[in-house]
Chains A and B, each alone.
Chain A
């Protein structure tokens, strides 16, 4: 199958009328350096772009590409050890840089340009109510009377579609959900009536259904207020949904800049193409994910020529000089920094055969979970109130067959991580039973529980936090053998560790180094090696790739699949990323508010979702293909685990809801084709 760009309608090819005037924001040859003790880091190396009134530009790239530093430079937020060392940033034709522009900068940054950050909790002051924080912006920046500011703050809360604004106005940030906090933060940014909103990964910390709601809000605000948006993100789907223009960044430079549909459908830079290819799609499934080999360059010593050359299949000698951001072939008016831009249309490899998947699945269950319930005590309601209980997992049953991968999908608070931990006996089991190879392990303690670690292991989400910074890779990988008394003499142990590292694709000389010497993807490989040291049969992988960049993510997913094929591993793959799960799992279980709502074969769940929640979840993932139809998002959020509703837990958000749903919870029961479903109406 080949995708070709639709003939560009002339109205789109010509710049919109508003863009013909002097640009609102213009960044020219910006360079930002960081004076670190390990050397000068060239974080941004000559970035240029401009943004017209009401335009939406997506700044896309992986971590460390300089996209966030660029946005901080625009906002005047570069502090020690960083410094803007070159180029210019101008707003409405006037420079924002230098001591002479200090007053202008104060007026523009935070006033005419506002910014929204990734983590709404750390951007809000936990001690002041939402309303007061918004009001303060109005009083300080707009010189409003407090009484007027209150009225305006309520209007703003309404503008960002916060329900019951009067009540929210008085609430402290912790009382709001993540999505509500992000809305409040956007309201705060809008308080100064900005012309440009910089959104720095505003939805990355949010669940996919909430992300869809926030993206809708941003689109709506653009239309209603004529707001220009600079969207900084690593998610191509987000860009496709929101932006008309895209600039792809790599190693501190812009490598491609074009209309969004042109970049997403016909990328000319090999990096942009690689990024697109390694993003797993929700709609199709490949036997292997495509990857970009190698790692981004060390920005302390950026290469003289094209920074992408070491990872590029098209490189030639001419790439040893740095390519300028020149016109892009294809007549879309875009620009690309490549000596050999890709001109042939993108070919999507054929989808995997429907029979694809782990060949070695044996029907016998390796792990069986029955009625698993995990309740955590949560203190009292007030000083003398009743004891409260967080119902993290509530009656979950499933089996994992030997050799298969069961994907466990859900949003935050669904109880998927707790389920994984309870199976490994790391979370207290309130009720229910977990069996491993037919033996109940629910009540194991002491030495037998320790022995169980040799059979069941865990791969962690955060490759930075899960490795002890003070231990060498040798100590980390060898530790399981040492503590179980399985370590041979030191020399044989070293050989064993080197073999394990080779298995996960790390060089032998890694053994003497500390974790900080490795990138995120390499650290995750070390974590995988540690989990494999004891040769377990069953591995719980808790969001193993969600902290990694797209191109690295694909490498690790492929590695996990290879290891499964070679070692006959069984995975419980916990994730919120539906596309990755579709790629790696044989069967998929969808969790919502502590319960499994749907469980079935991967292809059936994705192609024909039955439970309304599964539908909502799948519809909320923004497709990378800009031509894909926009599916309507559904409002609402996960109910509190302190007091889940008595009936179906999805009832508050469900389009099919009836009295029956509110009265009694449906149980997970098999349908004619063996598909398991917990719904009264499907």
Chain B
């Protein structure tokens, strides 16, 4: 300690306590808990975001337990019971709540099973494209110079190339399957991650704390991993959510074109494609998978919008203040606390 004590905190320094080294880790736990709790309360404050999140949670549960929830095997055909309408129409029955298709397969079961493909392709593509795109973006933004120029050129070329054409080419050569769909969609989607990551890194790499990290001798890998990546988390999360919604649509489109998921596997896009020939005789074949796609994309967008606001501290404070000022009870309670 300095002798002429006029440092503010100096007087409060207690003799150094010998504590177990793990203490630092344990003290962090309550913080993480608090954070989780606060995210939950943030979600409660945003009704559309909450509805979206609840829908997505239900979708995940359905996807995980589809074989047990679904009333029928989605591929089981029954020509006798073909083109049955939903239960509330003449000729409908509780056995097939949302009716049957032209092969007599249960529409509800197909939708429930289709959610698995949507989520699998969505998550797989976002993970693949996001992982690759963010890595490339980090390198481009941090390395700068020729590396950056080269990567930017590749990104621009890839973006200029018609995505659907590329997908058709690859699928035609390799042959359609769920895995191929994921790879093809990732190949068409990584550039947006690269662009966003690169632009944020370009802004962050001249901030003082990144310079400080380099100044103490951190190697580039550590600067990227410890100092840049964590600060990219919230914009990337929002982007990934939005991309997820786009991928769900893209998978449906590919499957609709017959280049995506192949029968006997099920997918919402495939259902719409197969139902389109019967659109005027059996509207439910295209309508229910269509609604499933629309609701899922809407829910994801609601969650993305919530996460965008929540990751912006100023927006978050405003939302909080609006809630307090809007509610006389909350406001009075906060004001009444007064000075301690």
Which residues on A are within 8 Å of B, measured CB to CB? Answer: 33-37, 39-40, 42, 80-83, 85, 288, 291, 293-295, 301-304, 424, 426, 450-451, 453-454, 457-458, 460-462, 465-472, 474, 479-480, 483-484, 489-491, 494-495, 498-499, 502-503, 505-508, 511-512, 521-522, 525, 527, 530, 533-534, 555, 558-559, 562-563, 566
Contacts and interface: CB of A to CB of B under 8 A. Distances in A.
B340 to A, nearest CB: 4
Contacts of B226: 468, 471, 479
Name the residue in A34, A81, A503, A522 with the highest tally of chain B Cβ atoms < 10 Å from its Cβ.
A81
A469 B231 contact: yes
Nearest to B314: A81
Contacts of B318: 80-81
Which 7 A-B pairs give the minimum distances between C-beta atoms? A81-B321, A505-B7, A466-B208, A491-B21, A480-B216, A35-B321, A512-B27
Given A480-B216, A483-B222, A301 B230 contact: no
Contact of A40 (B4, B10, B334): B334
Nearest to B317: A81
Nearest to A519: B8
Nearest to A474: B24
A466 B212 contact: yes
A289 to B, nearest CB: 9
A450 B219 CA distance: 9
A40 B335 contact: yes
Interface string B1-39: 111101111111110110011011001100000000010
Contact of B9 (A301, A451, A505): A505
B246 interface: no
B59 to A, nearest CB: 30
Contacts of B317: 36-37, 80-81
Interface in B37-83: 38
A483 B24 contact: no
Interface of B: 1-4, 6-14, 16-17, 20-21, 23-24, 27-28, 38, 207-209, 211-219, 222, 226-227, 230-231, 316-318, 320-322, 324-325, 331, 334-335, 337, 339-340
A648 B226 CA distance: 47
Contact of A505 (B10, B218, B227): B10
A499 B6 contact: no
Nearest to A485: B217
B2 A566 contact: yes
Contacts of B321: 34-36, 80-83
Contacts of A562: 2-4
Given A35-B324, A460-B208, A505-B2, A483 B218 contact: yes
Nearest to B21: A491
Nearest to B207: A465
Given A304-B340, A490-B21, A521 B334 contact: no
Contact of A426 (B14, B215, B340): B215
A424 B215 contact: yes
A433 B270 CA distance: 70
Nearest to B28: A512
**Which of B9, B28, B207, B211 gathers the greatest number of chain A CB atoms within 10 Å?**
B9
A30 to B, nearest CB: 16
Given A40-B337, A80-B321, A479-B213, A559 B7 contact: yes
B8 A295 contact: yes
A49 to B, nearest CB: 22
A520 to B, nearest CB: 12
Contacts of A37: 38, 316-317, 320
A83 B14 contact: no
Contacts of B212: 458, 460, 466-468, 527, 530
Contacts of A499: 16
Q: Tell me if B's interface is mostly helix, strand, loop or mixed.
A: helix
B2 A521 contact: no
Contacts of B38: 37
A286 B8 CA distance: 20
Given A36-B317, A37-B316, 20 more contacts: A35-B324, A36-B321, A81-B318, A294-B8, A295-B8, A450-B219, A458-B212, A465-B209, A468-B226, A474-B24, A479-B213, A483-B222, A491-B20, A502-B16, A507-B12, A512-B24, A525-B9, A534-B216, A555-B7, A559-B7
Contacts of A498: 16
Contacts of A453: 215-217
A511 B216 CA distance: 19
A223 B333 CA distance: 50
Nearest to B22: A490
A344 B340 CA distance: 33
B215 A80 contact: no
Contacts of B23: 494, 512
A301 B340 contact: yes
Contact of A36 (B11, B27, B320, B335): B320
13 contacts: A291-B6, A426-B215, A458-B212, A461-B208, A468-B227, A468-B231, A470-B231, A505-B7, A505-B8, A512-B23, A522-B9, A559-B7, A562-B2
Nearest to A552: B8
Contacts of A559: 2, 7
A450 B213 CA distance: 12
Contacts of B320: 35-37, 81
A85 B335 contact: yes
A498 B21 CA distance: 12
Contact of B209 (A35, A295, A467): A467
A466 B209 contact: yes
A579 B321 CA distance: 43
A531 to B, nearest CB: 8
B211 A426 contact: yes
A34 B12 CA distance: 30
A489 B316 CA distance: 41
Of residues A36, A42, A494, A521, which shows the largest number of chain B Cβ atoms within 10 Å of its Cβ?
A: A494
Contact of A454 (B20, B217, B325): B217
Contacts of A85: 335
A81 B212 CA distance: 34
A44 B4 CA distance: 35
A468 B209 contact: yes
A506 B340 contact: no
A294 B230 CA distance: 33
B2 A462 contact: no
A495 B17 CA distance: 9
A303 B339 contact: yes
Contacts of B16: 495, 498-499, 502, 508
Contacts of A36: 317, 320-321
A295 B208 CA distance: 25
Contact of B230 (A450, A470, A474, A508): A470
A498 B161 CA distance: 56
Contacts of B208: 460-462, 465-466
A304 B339 contact: yes
A503 B3 CA distance: 11
A578 B14 CA distance: 37
